[in-house]
Structures are given as C-alpha cells and as structure tokens.
Structure 1
Amino acid sequence: MDTITTLQDILDYVDKHIKDDISPDILAARAGYSTWHFSKVFQWGIGYSLMTYVRNRRLAFAAHELSSGRKILDISMEYGFETHSGFSKAFRRHFGCSPGTYRLHTHCDRPFPPSLPLTNKYLIGGIIMEPKFVTRSAINIAGFAIKTTSTDGENSKAIPAFWDDYMSSGKMENLHAENFIKNHDEYGVCFQVDMETGEFEYVIGVEPIDGAEIPNDYHVCEVPPASYAVFSTPPCAAANFAQNIQGTWNYIFNEWFPKSGYEYAPNCVDFELYDDRCMEDEGKICDIYIPVIKKQN
C-alpha cells in the first residue's frame, strides 16, 4: 500500500476502536513499520503525533455524546479518561471551553470518518468567518430572565420560546418604552451553569443608564468585564436568522476554537447582541461575543 492508503487505514482503525486501548506500537504494527518510523510518517502525513490524533478523535466522539444528557464523568470514562478533571482539562485545551459550556451552547453530529483526500473548510453562507477582538468593561443589564438546563436539549426549546413570549406578550414594547434605557440594543446573555444541577440563567435585556432607578418588575444583572472574540453572523433573510445564529455557534465551538490559539475565559459569560442590523427583513445580522484568553502552553 502507498503511504496515503496506509494512513487512511490507520485513521479508519482508530475510529472503529475509539473506545479500546490504542498505542503507537499497535498502530505501527498494523501499518507494517517500526514504531519510530511510523510515528514520523504519521506526523508528516496527518500533522499530529499518533496519540495526539487519537486523543483528539476521542474528544470529538465525546463531544457528540454530550448532547445525550449522560453524565460527563460516564462519557469521560468511556473514552479512556481516568478522571473527570483530566477529561475536562483535555476537552478545554482542544475545544477552548469546558464540557459543560460546550453542552450548553452547541452540539455536533457523530464525527464523520476521516478522509485524507478531502479538505475541511467550514463555511456558513459561503463565508469563512473570522472574529474581531474587543475588550469591554462590565455591562449592566435590565430585562427578563429564565432558568433552564441543557439536559436533554431543554435549553434549545426553552430559549426560543422565551424570545417568542418576550416579543409577542408586550414585554418588549414595555421595556423599550422605559426612561431608564441607555440604548435600545438587546442582549441575550447566558450565565454560567451550575455544575451540580446543570441549570443556568438566560437573560434578555438592555443596558440601563448608569445610576438609573429600575422598577422591581425587571431582572437586573451584570456581565463581567472581558476580552471578546466577536463573530458577526452572515447577512440573511428573517426566515433563516435563527438557523444562521445556531450555525455560527456551531462553527465557533466545533471549528474556530480548536484552531484559534484561544480558549473560553474562566468566570466570564457570552452573549448575543441584537442592534439595528437585526431590524430589517433582509440582511439580518447579530454579533456573538465570546470571552477569550490565549491558551497556556
């Protein structure tokens, strides 16, 4: 077999035995090379060391399992990680966020079998997305809040329903008529998950004027200061807006974070910002703010 065929066979073998014990010696013997030689061949052909590739594939399969609602510890053990902390550390280094944060915001399909002849550029609406980077001080928010959970995908139903109620029940009109509003840009903020219960708070709101009196009818909270990678969703018609937003979230966590050199900043929160660009029926855009720090080597 030529090198590409040999490497493809190894990639297929890894996927088929992703939950089994896999070592450089086992893979080299299957390829018909010494371990030292095959390690060099694999690094040249794939761009990763043998065991780094195996670990990354295990993390990819584990990421798919997160949407099942199973306990993170059970998933980590199934894919060869001996401790919850070891899995969380490896997951964060690869995906740029904790397993809990990933489960909260996105999901991925079962990993496709790797194919060496194919390239993997991730496109949304024909655009390869690159963020801009900004630093923002703390942001006060006044509006409405719900508590939900990512277990069994409850949040993917509860949050859209929360927005529907906000826009159709008069809450939006009443909020924007208040005299404490600093500007009319709307925030959708996802606060941190309770690691024991999986519950988190989601807030829809606006920035109030500093020092303004806010009626008790409204939920008041603070987004902590952070440096952000800001992704603008591709312009689209109203009918495709929600799909574009979710596609952008999937891109951020499945494609951008692993290659970016950044990771999700601890003790910070992410949010969607809806400004005047969201008001039209065509060309709708929103910004997604992801708090980031440089990865530690």
Structure 2
Amino acid sequence: MNPVFVRKPAFKVAGYGIQTNVAGSMYTKDIASFWSHYEGENLESKMYKILNPPKHGEVGLCIPSSDNGNATYLLGVIVEDYSKVEADMLTMDVPEAEYAVFTTPPVDTSTDTEQIQFAQVIKSSWKYIFEEWLRIVVTFMTRLNWILSFTMNAAIRGTRYSDGDLRSCEKVD
C-alpha cells in the first residue's frame, strides 16, 4: 500500500473521533474500539443524515496535538461549512498542502456481513502507516534535517566540505 501524493486545496471535515496516543502501541486498540463504537452506534448513517455532505466518502485524519504523540483520530466527511455540526462531533480545517493519500485494499462487504475482513483491512492499513511508512519518513526527515542544519550551521561559520564527506571539511577564508 503506497500513498499517492496529491496537492489538495483547503477543506473542512466534520465527523466523530477520539483522542489517542500514537507514540505507543495502544492507538491500534483505541482506533479499533472507536470503529466498534462507530459501527455499533451507526454513526456513519447519523453523520450523513445530519451533515448531508455534497459527496459520499469518508475522510480519516490523524491530527497531532502535541510532540509526545497525542493525537485526534477523526473520521468524517468533507463539508462546506460547520452549520449542521452537532455537539458530539469534531471538526477540522485542513489547510491546502501536499498530502500522502492512502487507499485501503477493496473488501467485498456483501460476503463479510459482520465486517470482520473490513475491520482487519482498516487495522492493517493504520498499522502500516504508523509502524512502517511513518517511521521511514520520520527517520529520513530527521536525518535530512540534521544534515541541512549541520550544513547551514557550517556555512554560517564559514566551513565548507572538501569532498562532500561530512567528516572532512576545511575552513573558507
């Protein structure tokens, strides 16, 4: 499951969600519990009936709220405004940006009446995103940031690299 990177204009999302912590392993249980509640309370139908979005299709967002891994997991729909939002719903203004868009593998829900396969696909998708894909991205970005920071600091101090190797450098007069 590889993401597609797309530039999206700003949009508004309203729906239902939970607070969780993605730094540990409990987020998968939190999200699975939320999905169980979402299905059991028929929140999808309720959300569509109340919000009446212009298009059918849910958006899953994981919104960081702190550096220690706390985040809001929001499952909602794209809306034009928040005028129909009820007190138990969450909202998010999503800014224009380039996004990694993941699409879960298709599931034939006509043969999976208890939605077991569907729940597994969702769980494995989030597990892949948080435990594999994001770790690679964060590791790469951390290293890139360190190299860029080191390079910028060295350039400010008048240092240049003689052969591109970070271990060997010479002073620039």
TM-score band, normalised by the shorter chain? 0.5 to 0.7
Contact 2:51 2:85 in 1 (8 A): no
TM-score (normalizing by structure 1):
0.38
Shift of 1:162: 0.8
Q: Bigger relative contact order, structure 1 or 2, given CA contacts below 8 A and separation 6+?
A: 2
Letter of the structure 1 residue corresponding to residue 47 of structure 2 = L
Written as runs of structure 1 = structure 2, the 5 A alignment for 1:97-246 is 129-150=1-22, 152-196=24-68, 198-210=69-81, 212-238=83-109, 239-245=116-122, 246=124
Shift of 1:209: 2.5
**Cα gap change, 1:215 to 1:183, in 2 (>3 Å):** same
Counterpart Cα distance in 2 of 1:209 and 1:199? 28
Written as runs of structure 1 = structure 2, the 5 A alignment for 1:50-61 is none
Contact 2:14 2:82 in 1 (8 A): no
Shift of 1:175: 1.4
Counterpart Cα distance in 2 of 1:176 and 1:199? 28
Letter of the structure 2 residue corresponding to residue 254 of structure 1 = E
The answer for unaligned runs of 5 or more in structure 1 is 1-128, 265-295
Q: How many residues matched?
A: 136
Letter of the structure 2 residue corresponding to residue 172 of structure 1 = E
Written as runs of structure 1 = structure 2, the 5 A alignment for 1:63-102 is none
What SS class does the counterpart of residue 190 from structure 1 fall into?
strand
What SS class does the counterpart of residue 183 from structure 1 fall into?
coil
Contact 1:180 1:209 in 2 (8 A): no
Shift of 1:170: 3.4
Counterpart Cα distance in 1 of 2:82 and 2:98? 25
Q: What fraction of aligned residue pairs are identical, expressed as a percent?
A: 28
TM-score (normalizing by structure 2):
0.59
